[in-house]
Amino acid sequence: MVEQFVGTWALLSSENFDEYMKAIGVGFATRQMGNMAKPNLVISVDDAGMVSMKSETTFKTTEIKFKLNEEFDETTADGRKTKTLITCANGKLVQQQTWEDKKTTLEREIQEGKLTAKCVMDDVVAVRIYEKGA
């Protein structure tokens, strides 16, 4: 089911991302860089079922490797240390990050050939849309 997400995706549009970053506790300077960055999202799966999700920008490249349904420790691009669980259900790749009694959810799905990432923290929702590269 993860196969539909495999590939290189370029950020096309981003809505409300600054508010989302604020809600998860990202500082001003890091938010400024985050707002300017136009990341490529590179998703791959190896033969053992290990998924790699890499975010590449001119500022920073971050990568997480995981197996679906297995919690792991993640250090996010903004420096948070989270317990992260990624599942795949109903065509959505759902990433839940928990830290310091907080929880955020990132839902990725393919809609009309584009990858839509919905970032949710409490009542703040950001939507980022990526298109598949060549």
Domain count, the chain: 1
| Pick from 130, 92, 115: nearest CA to 2 | 92
DSSP classification of residue 67? -
CATH of the domain at 122: 2.40.128.20
Q: What's the pLDDT tens digit per position in 52-110?
A: 999 998 888 999 999 999 999 999 989 999 999 999 999 999 999 999 999 999 999 99
CB 124 within 8 A of CB 15: no
Three-class secondary structure assignment of 3-40: HHHCEEEEEEEEECHHHHHHHCCCCHHHHHHHHHCCCE
Q: What's the pLDDT tens digit per position in 3-52?
A: 999 999 999 999 999 999 999 999 999 999 999 999 999 999 999 999 99
Q: Domain range for residue 37?
A: 2-132
| Pick from 30, 45, 10: nearest CA to 128 | 10
- Confidence (pTM): 0.94
